[in-house]
Structure 1
Amino acid sequence: MNRLTLTCFCVCICLMLGIGSVHAQENVIDEVVWVVGDEAILKSDVENERLNAQYEGRHFDGDPYCVIPEELAVQKLFLHQAEIDSVTVTDQEVLQGVEAQMSWLIDQIGSKEKMEEYYNKTSTQIREMLRENIRNGKTVQQMQQKIVGDIKLTPAEVRNYFSRLPQDSIPFVPTQVEVQIITREPKIKEEEIERVKKELRDFTERINKGETTFSTLARLYSEDPGSARRGGEYGFTGRGELTPEFANVVFNLTDPKKISKVFETEYGFHIAQLIEKRGDRISYRHILMKPRVDEKDIERELNRLDTLANDIRKGKVTFDEAATWVSQDKDTRNNHGLLANPQTSTSRFEMQQLAGLISQEVAKTVENMQIGEVSQPFTMINGNGKEVCAIVKLKNRIDGHKATISEDYQRLKEIVTAKRSEEKLQEWIVEKQRATYVRISPEWRKCDFKYPGWIKQ
């Protein structure tokens, strides 16, 4: 979602939920300040967005009373064209967006109950108010994608574009690294697994006896940081968004009063409770608990990796071979342990990406390593939230530099593609302005608009 679409999306949410300023709404006499086609932009629309921008710390490039209505007007152009072209968003996409936004609101406020109290509305009412905004936002996105189409660039076009750039405009590429990893997961003792499963069964018994609620226990004990503060609750979710083991359990729940049996996934052990089913989507609560690893077992795996690292350094085995046969990292072992960057679909990471997407421990370990060096063993938390032991090898480092075609072609291609997309959208907006009725109140015309064609001569 580009800045324009995101801004318009946020405006609608804030207006419908009442975010902004009650004081402003009490003292501003509402009026129509713009008309675009047969759609009106109200003074209250603009004022609410201005106040919301202050709350979020957004800074406008110009007078907000000029920038905001123009952004809203552009959104209305896209929505009008989408209606003409029959560009639609599926109910499932809207529902998914609504639930994601509801989860965001609950996270910000602290709980569903606090959210309802804050807005003085039920969750159902809030959900219904969000529906149209999200449909509009997604419709604008689809319309923009249709206008832009599939932009195909040749290497010659990318080279020509950057050959014309002044030196001080060529983008700087931060230091990037390529890293291989071997991980081992310390074995958890059977008695520890039984302890966790018994505790979850005890939770179920207490809930069934009416001694407490599922939500209360989830807030107190669940080790899923994404849902614990919400009482273990997740919004409506499709089967494909869940791990197969988890989906097989929660999608077979039929009675909201019953709690699942204890079950295991790669994240740990769970119990779950149905909230509601809607078609092929489900809303549920769950409690996650993770068995603790004994320090002696961690030490045993660290020693094993230390021996392996020494063998690699002595040339007895290569890192590639060890990763294939020893590593328990299912995402990398079939690629000789090479980490993949999900944001770029390459093996290159900027250091901040490595810390945020993989592990801060990996980033700290790699930072001062030499190319080809194998690290000392260390512990880290993997993507499933489990503590594992690891060694890494710095396969390559590309120091920070001005972008070049030879080293950074894909990055430069993305920049040119984005620029071409923006140019096509701007050309479309200018053309659409000419064919659309626009009326702006006289006191709102004294602006340096991004698109001057709003005011017809």
Structure 2
Amino acid sequence: MNKNIKFALVFTFLLAFFGGKINAQVKSGDLVDGIAVVVGNEIILESDIEDQANFSKQQGAAIANKCEFVEGIISNKLLIYEAKRDTLIENRSAVIKDNANQKYTQILGQFPDEKTMLATYKFRTSFEMKNAIEKIDSDNYYGQMKYGRITEKADVTPNEVTDFFTTFQYQLPEVKDEVTLSQISIFPKLTDSHKDEVIGRLNKIKQAILGGETFESQARIYSEDPGSASNGGLYKAISKGKMVKPFEAAALNLQEGEMSDPVESDFGYHLIQLVKKSGKIYDARHILLKAEPNAAEIATAKKELDSIRTLINDGKMTFKEAAFRFSDDKKTKFNGGVLTAEDGSDKLEKLNLSPTIAYQIAGLNKGDITEVFQDKVQQDRKVVTFVKINDVIAAHKLDITTDYDRIKQMALNKKKNEMVEKWVKEKLPNIFISINDRYKDCKFKTDWRKSAETK
């Protein structure tokens, strides 16, 4: 397929494009660490390339050619270099560093111990791995922000979409089997006695802290938040609006060092300690006890949801009305319960559905509604739900009559890539770029030798 119609953005430094088996235009074998590429004042070490490739390989990414891989890094580094000089792009270094620590903790939770994790990702120390995550996230952020600034006015007309389809119709990919689905979900509610039991446990922890135990130690022992428990419950550089409203309201009403009473949120019950506050940014520790419903509470929720399903089947209420009135899923209740993919499309590949939903809709047809079933959502929170099959779409070649929105997005991506390629060529003569001789045999698509290095 022509490179201009690929879904991938020009900055292929994104995590999804990093690792995998790196074959050779460059000779295989261990490379001595050193500077691989310099773009302006941005330096890429050989160890950075290898660390990021190893990290991404464990995330399931793959790339076949190291020269293409390195050129993607160069293109993205140019965007990053210019992004950091762009006064309209926010410097988020502190937040990125804190998020990298949280990601490290989350990944660690998937392994029996830290040594196993580091060996799997091929890092020697936790510092090296955290540093690699931070570099990836930082480059990803600045690359995307600059890409967005360059392409923010990009648009395509209907004629351009038609021309794109006419030109590339025989190269467009085949769409796999898909469905469009709607769902109504509710979270089982805890009984008053169950709530009192959880709150009582938190109050005992609070009394232990007031009696001399540190908040940090109690968070490590008791908190059920996998993202912060091992870090003593600490979240740093929290910006307003990032946390759920009950958490944020409680935290910002505290004085530095003060501790809250138990606070209820969608995730459970929290003890919160404000560590530091500066303007709209704050650091806080918390201890979370999840509001985990028991079997009786789940059964009650299923009975309630089944009565809603009956109203829909009897024609007394539309699915859209029921979703708006009863669903606890904030992402879908305002659009009739319709599930969407990451790109915003309502067409979902069957192969990418969760195992639970795939099992529940197996054998059903357009218009059918599943029975009520139990599922899990964010942070393993239990939910009961049922799903309606709005449409079933068989695998087919992309066609403008049935897939206009997809083809339009591909045409728009092509135009955006061309805008960035033009921008790179215009910037190239004024930016110093140096590439190590070990890549001299690479056949790059852009002539990086036209940079300021040769002037």
Same fold (TM over 0.5): yes
Point out the more displaced range, 281-290 or 318-327: 318-327
In structure 2, C-alpha distance between the alignment counterparts of 1:310 and 1:81, rounded to whole Å: 58
Check 1:205–1:438 CA distance in 2 against 1; reply closer, same or farther (3 A cut).
closer
Check 1:55–1:353 CA distance in 2 against 1; reply closer, same or farther (3 A cut).
closer
Partner of 1:19: none
Q: Secondary structure at the match of 1:407?
A: coil
Check 1:276–1:397 CA distance in 2 against 1; reply closer, same or farther (3 A cut).
same
Taking every aligned residue pair, what percent have the same amino acid on both sides? 25
Partner of 2:238: 237
Check 1:265–1:107 CA distance in 2 against 1; reply closer, same or farther (3 A cut).
closer
CA shift, 1:315, in A, is 4.2
Instruction: Decide which of 150, 154, 157 is 2:157's aligned counterpart.
Output: 154
Instruction: Decide which of 205, 208, 220 is 1:206's aligned counterpart.
Output: 208
Check 1:429–1:392 CA distance in 2 against 1; reply closer, same or farther (3 A cut).
closer
In structure 2, C-alpha distance between the alignment counterparts of 1:69 and 1:332, rounded to whole Å: 40
Partner of 1:101: 100
| TM-score, normalising length: structure 2 | 0.75
Contact 1:267 1:385 survives alignment (8 Å):
no
CA shift, 1:313, in A, is 3.6
Q: Secondary structure at the match of 2:162?
A: helix
Contact 1:178 1:338 survives alignment (8 Å):
no
In structure 2, C-alpha distance between the alignment counterparts of 1:6 and 1:200, rounded to whole Å: 41
CA shift, 1:391, in A, is 2.7
CA shift, 1:410, in A, is 1.8
Partner of 1:375: 370
CA shift, 1:161, in A, is 0.9
* Cα deviations by residue, 1:47-80 (Å, 9 ceiling, x for unpaired): 5423552464376654x4x567655654554456
In structure 2, C-alpha distance between the alignment counterparts of 1:390 and 1:181, rounded to whole Å: 7
- RMSD over aligned Cα, in angstroms? 4.3
Contact 1:181 1:392 survives alignment (8 Å):
yes
Check 1:35–1:333 CA distance in 2 against 1; reply closer, same or farther (3 A cut).
closer
Matches within 5 A, 1:227-376: 227-256=228-257, 258-310=258-310, 312-315=312-315, 317-329=317-329, 331-335=331-335, 337-341=336-340, 343-351=342-350, 354-355=353-354, 360-376=355-371
Partner of 1:398: 393
Q: Secondary structure at the match of 2:236?
A: strand
Instruction: Decide which of 174, 183, 196 is 1:194's aligned counterpart.
Output: 196
Check 1:166–1:302 CA distance in 2 against 1; reply closer, same or farther (3 A cut).
closer
Check 1:323–1:444 CA distance in 2 against 1; reply closer, same or farther (3 A cut).
closer
In structure 1, C-alpha distance between the alignment counterparts of 2:310 and 2:438, rounded to whole Å: 76
In structure 2, C-alpha distance between the alignment counterparts of 1:180 and 1:245, rounded to whole Å: 29
Contact 2:341 2:347 survives alignment (8 Å):
no
CA shift, 1:344, in A, is 3.4
Looking at secondary structure, tell me which structure has more helix per residue: 1
Partner of 1:174: 176
Partner of 2:424: 429
In structure 2, C-alpha distance between the alignment counterparts of 1:86 and 1:132, rounded to whole Å: 19
Are 2:166 and 1:163 equivalent residues in the alignment? yes
Task: List gaps (5 residues or longer) in structure 1.
Answer: 12-23
Contact 2:259 2:272 survives alignment (8 Å):
yes
In structure 2, C-alpha distance between the alignment counterparts of 1:247 and 1:40, rounded to whole Å: 37
Matches within 5 A, 1:110-121: none
In structure 2, C-alpha distance between the alignment counterparts of 1:312 and 1:443, rounded to whole Å: 66
Check 1:51–1:81 CA distance in 2 against 1; reply closer, same or farther (3 A cut).
closer
Contact 1:170 1:403 survives alignment (8 Å):
yes
In structure 2, C-alpha distance between the alignment counterparts of 1:374 and 1:344, rounded to whole Å: 25
Q: Secondary structure at the match of 2:287?
A: strand
Task: List gaps (5 residues or longer) in structure 2.
Answer: 1-8, 20-29, 116-123
In structure 2, C-alpha distance between the alignment counterparts of 1:339 and 1:440, rounded to whole Å: 49
Check 1:198–1:403 CA distance in 2 against 1; reply closer, same or farther (3 A cut).
same
* Cα deviations by residue, 1:115-149 (Å, 9 ceiling, x for unpaired): 9xx76979xxx89x999997666444443333334
In structure 1, C-alpha distance between the alignment counterparts of 2:316 and 2:139, rounded to whole Å: 61
Higher-Rg structure is: 1
Q: Secondary structure at the match of 2:364?
A: coil
